[in-house]
Amino acid sequence: MFSSLRREQREAVGLLQIGTFLEYFDLMLYVHMAVLLNDLFFPKTDPHTASLIAAFAFCSTYVLRPFGALLFGWIGDHIGRKTTVIITTMMMAVSCLIMANLPTYSQIGISAAWIVTLCRLLQGLSSMGEVVGAEIYLTEITKPPTQYLVVSLIPVFSTLGGVVALIVASLVTSRGFNWRLAFWIGAGIALIGSVARTRLRETPDFVDMKRKMKKAIEESSHYGLGKAADLLKSTNILLKEKINWSTLTAYFFVLSGFPVTFFFTYIHCGAILKTQFGYTPEQIIHQNFKTSLFHLLSWFSVSFLSQYVNPIKIVKIRSFIFCAIIIFLPLLMNNVRSPDDIFLLQVITITFILTDVPATSIFIMKFPVFRRFTSFSYVYALSRAVVYIVTSFGLVYLTNAFGHYGLWFIFVPISVMFLFGLKHFEKLEHETRHDNPETALIKPLTTSAT
């Protein structure tokens, strides 16, 4: 499968996959140790307020991502994809270094809560630019069907980073290691990753567009603006390429599926284990670790399956199964009798999680090159920020008011949105195939028509 790639392509795939793994190890380290670290950095309160504080700590990672998307989008679309992934890794190293040395709430009071929140904001910005930059980079240097696999391995390796973070968190809580050591390790590997990425070359799509724009400018000096305008039109790279807002909205709907499923599986179920079954942080982390192994296995499976089955078809089948699960989820939650029952529900939801994997590269190519990083990263960041905030705070109040049936108020609208967005891309795919069968899965969409 990788034999069709040139040496520099294989090197880029390796650097980006490893870098994503390291980046998400750092990001998820706090997420999975939150049951321990929130008690150290935030004031102790009653269970309801503690749930709101936990939601705040979790959402702080995502709330500023849309602003980061504009920043990294501008860098990615004007300076280059390579520069973006180097900067994001350095940002992660700095945030880990600060948290590794940060005094606790008992030592410096509320300042500890504010500083750790700022670090989480920085990590959220960094991870957003990281995963988007890596996916766009690999999409632009490879072709289908190998493209489907290498791009899908980005979330696989990000999940693997989370798995290793869970292992470290488990060791810290069960063996009595100093939790700061984990963040020192995270800072070190992020620094190494950023240095390693300096070996990357800029993507051919970005370089080619820059070259054509430069040529158009040179042509204007020799032949006049009319000649340059003709060249720009012929190469389909107008400076203000139009974005299909229907496509952008549809992709927001598609991307909204992952955060609600992830939060339910790891955070909401973890809270149930703590309140209903008296699980300690160590036990919750251990159960989430076992769940993450199934998460990793499911994404490995669909990534390699994309070499033989249309990726959008895979996404569609998984989404239908997930919707069927949602219908019975409150009833199943009402009949939970043991932590093993919770574990089974965690495995089922994370296996059929609503996600664009393994069709990510198909969606990416629907955006024009000079607007691709900005538009793709912004809708990615906005979906994470909005859905995580709505889900984390919403479930606190909805489940208090309606019990487990409150899950429907979140899951049902998100599932309908996901299917609507997916249908839009199926339509685009059908139209592209009809126009040009040979480039059906790689032809960018630059028109503003719906």
Question: DSSP letters of 176-217?
Answer: ---HHHHHHHHHHHHHHHHHHGGGPPPPHHHHHHHHHHHHHH
Tokens, residue 415: 């599932």
Tokens, residue 112: 């500890």
| pLDDT, tens digit (0-9, with 9 covering 90-100), for 111-151 | 888 888 888 778 777 776 677 778 888 888 888 888 999 99
Closest listed residue to residue 72, CA positions, set 91, 59, 87: 87
Percent of the chain with pLDDT over 70: 78
Half-sphere exposure of 68 (CA within 13 A, CB side): 27
Contacts for 190 with CB less than 8 Å, ≥ 6 apart:
22, 23, 26, 89, 90, 92, 93, 96
- In whole angstroms, what is the distance from residue 361 CA to residue 242 CA? 20
| pLDDT, tens digit (0-9, with 9 covering 90-100), for 53-73 | 666 666 666 676 777 777 777
Contacts for 43 with CB less than 8 Å, ≥ 6 apart:
53, 105, 110, 113
- In whole angstroms, what is the distance from residue 419 CA to residue 371 CA? 25
Q: What letter represents residue 154's amino acid?
A: I
For the beta carbon of residue 278, count every other beta carbon within 10 angstroms.
9
What average pLDDT does this structure show over 401-415? 95
Residues 26, 186: contact at Cβ < 8 Å? yes
Kindly provide the residue ranges of all beta strands, DSSP E only, lying in 13-75, ordered along the sequence.
none
What pLDDT is attached to residue 74? 77
Could you tell me which residue, 239 or 252, shows the higher pLDDT?
252
Contacts for 402 with CB less than 8 Å, ≥ 6 apart:
409
User: 7-439 has which fold?
Assistant: Growth Hormone; Chain: A; (1.20.1250)
Q: Which helix (H) or strand (E) holds 71?
A: helix 65-78
Q: What is the pTM of this model?
A: 0.74
Closest listed residue to residue 372, CA positions, set 149, 92, 27, 138: 138
- In whole angstroms, what is the distance from residue 355 CA to residue 235 CA? 33
- In whole angstroms, what is the distance from residue 415 CA to residue 254 CA? 9
Tokens, residue 173: 């809580």
What average pLDDT does this structure show over 390-419? 93
Compute, in degrees rounded to 10, the torsion defined by CA atoms 238, 243, 244, 247.
130
- Give 3's DSSP letter: T
What pLDDT is attached to residue 413? 96
Contacts for 270 with CB less than 8 Å, ≥ 6 apart:
35, 284, 287, 288
What pLDDT is attached to residue 436? 55
Could you tell me which residue, 417 or 229, shows the higher pLDDT?
417
Closest listed residue to residue 77, CA positions, set 234, 237, 235: 237
Closest listed residue to residue 62, CA positions, set 134, 155, 126: 126
Tokens, residue 388: 């995580």
Check pLDDT > 70 for residue 230: no
Tokens, residue 428: 């685009």
SS (H, E, C) 307-342: CCCCHHHHHHHHHHHHHHHHHHHHHHHHCCCCHHHH
Closest listed residue to residue 391, CA positions, set 371, 374, 415, 425: 415
- In whole angstroms, what is the distance from residue 215 CA to residue 218 CA? 5
For the beta carbon of residue 159, count every other beta carbon within 10 angstroms.
24
What average pLDDT does this structure show over 400-421? 95
What average pLDDT does this structure show over 161-165? 84
- In whole angstroms, what is the distance from residue 390 CA to residue 320 CA? 23
Mean pLDDT of the chain: 80
| pLDDT, tens digit (0-9, with 9 covering 90-100), for 12-44 | 788 778 777 877 777 777 776 776 777 777 777
What pLDDT is attached to residue 446? 37
